[in-house]
A = this chain, B = another copy of it.
């Protein structure tokens, strides 16, 4: 199976439920952004199964820890995740509450001049808020 490596590498056994979550997360033409609730809905639609919320949270968090999913920093009551784990940025449409990818090439190179001693830069993320 194609998802077994991802699961094993994340410290998870390839169970039926986890493989179904992988199916919804990774078997797509395009990457996408989601909240846990939206993912739960997608699972219900795509697979004809209900997977408990705890399992969804656990799996998503394990993938995030290993870098197979990214969390998107945004002010919302729900946490947003991204299946696009390349370095990239986001538009956030304030009215529709929708995220849109901004490729690195859509944003000029970002050069952080300030240094904090003893700390390394782990990531640089740009959020561009949009209004009408």
Contacts and interface: CB of A to CB of B under 8 A. Distances in A.
A121 to B, nearest CB: 6
B93 A119 contact: yes
Q: Can you tell how many copies of this chain the complex includes?
A: 2
Query: Which size class do A's interface residues fall under?
Result: 35 or more
A102 B107 contact: no
Contacts of A79: 75
Contacts of A47: none
Contacts of A113: 105-108
Contacts of A91: 114, 116, 119
Contact of A74 (B73, B100, B110, B121): B73
Interface in A75-116: 75, 79, 91, 93-94, 100, 102-103, 105-114, 116
